Amino acid sequence: MKTGIPHDRDLRAGLTIVALVAFSALASLVFTPFDPNAMDAAHRFALPGWPHLLGTDNFGRDILSRLAVGARFSLIVSLSTVTIGTVFGVLLGMPAGYFGGVVDEVIMRLVDALTSFPGILLALVAVTVLPSGRYTIVAALGVLFVPSFTRIARSGTLQFKDSEFAASARAFGASSFRVMFVHILPNIYPQLLSAIVVGLSNAILAESGMSYLGLGIQPPAPSWGRMLAEAQAFLFNAPWGAIAPGLAIMIAVLGFNRLGEGLRKELGL
């Protein structure tokens, strides 16, 4: 019998961390210790302690509150990014694997072309050319995730397209579309799921990177990457300003990574 607690250590650790990050992101919707954007000149560079548990930054803003709100933006951006990657990856990869031949060649060469650009450069160009805003960053990062999901969807489809149940679905009159999306897709869901979770950790890192470069969510909305960038100037006077978002990024990435790894093992891949 299955118990509620997973046996795998990676899975347990991953679930715990992801739950923690998700909880603080959700909690920030209803409660933060301080207003994350309220400046307080009297309490600039406050040391971690009471009432500012993780201290304040150069404008006297509460770092813990900003971290919690930043978690929300990180999660929203990375979830949307990976969703885009998954949806387009599946829509491109499944027909490529299923039909093979010319369809496969065309789709996979397009995907190769996309991969051959340095990812962050492509995102930078997109952010520069397109109007800035959270949708732009999501779209720019999302495109970067399409190739890997296309490959996963393609290889999963290749694995199942000649399976007997796909053959019998065709034999009772199912269309190619139906065989792909009703019969094969649920069967490659395990591969996709663990790739999605690992993708989330990459997306968090990529989003932080973009924000660090000042290309993510626009100020004053807090984001981990920009908090890091802003604290950089005061690294030697007030290191807690950089350590907190840095640790937050590391912990979130670690959490999703472990979760993905744990799922991969749990799903027997």
Of residues 22 and 185, the one with the C-beta less far from other proteins? 185
Q: Could you say which DSSP state residue 13 is in?
A: H
Q: Phi first, then psi: what are they for 140, rounded to 5°?
A: -65, -45
Least distance from C-beta 105 to other proteins, angstroms?
A: 15
Q: Which residues contact 138 (CB under 8 A, 6 or more apart)?
A: 77, 80, 81, 84
Binding piece for other proteins, criterion CB under 8 A, among 25-33, 67-75, 175-183, 222-230: 175-183
Single out the residue of 268, 262, 267 nearest to residue 17, CA to CA.
Answer: 262
Instruction: Please give the structure tokens belonging to residue 85.
Output: 């990657």
Establish if 172 lies at the interface with other proteins (CB under 8 A).
Answer: yes
What is the rounded CA–CA span in Å between residue 142 and residue 65?
Answer: 28
Contact 38, 61 (CB under 8 A): yes
**Interface map 78-117 toward other proteins (x if CB under 8 A):** ----------------------x-----------------
Among 117, 135, 165, 177, binds other proteins (CB under 8 A): 165
The number of residues that bind other proteins (CB under 8 A) is 19
Single out the residue of 125, 124, 141 nearest to residue 84, CA to CA.
Answer: 141
Instruction: Please give the structure tokens belonging to residue 91.
Output: 């829509």
Of residues 168 and 232, the one with the C-beta less far from other proteins? 168
Of residues 158 and 200, the one with the C-beta less far from other proteins? 158
Q: Could you say which DSSP state residue 132 is in?
A: P
Establish if 175 lies at the interface with other proteins (CB under 8 A).
Answer: yes
CA angle (83 as vertex; 81, 85 as ends), nearest 5: 70
Residue with tokens 């009432």: 51
Binding piece for other proteins, criterion CB under 8 A, among 110-118, 158-166, 202-210, 212-220: 158-166
Of residues 135 and 165, the one with the C-beta less far from other proteins? 165
Burial (CB < 10 A; 0-12, 13-18, 19+), residue 161, is: buried
Within residues 183-222, the interface with other proteins by CB under 8 A covers 183, 186-187
Among 167, 235, 247, 267, binds other proteins (CB under 8 A): 167
Among 76, 174, 243, 251, binds other proteins (CB under 8 A): 174
Among 3, 102, 116, 164, binds other proteins (CB under 8 A): 164
Among 128, 163, 232, 237, binds other proteins (CB under 8 A): 163
Among 16, 128, 168, 232, binds other proteins (CB under 8 A): 168
What is the rounded CA–CA span in Å between residue 60 and residue 39?
Answer: 5
**What residues form DSSP beta bridges with 56?**
62
Least distance from C-beta 134 to other proteins, angstroms?
A: 36
Residues forming the site for other proteins (CB under 8 A): 100, 162-165, 167-175, 178, 182-183, 186-187
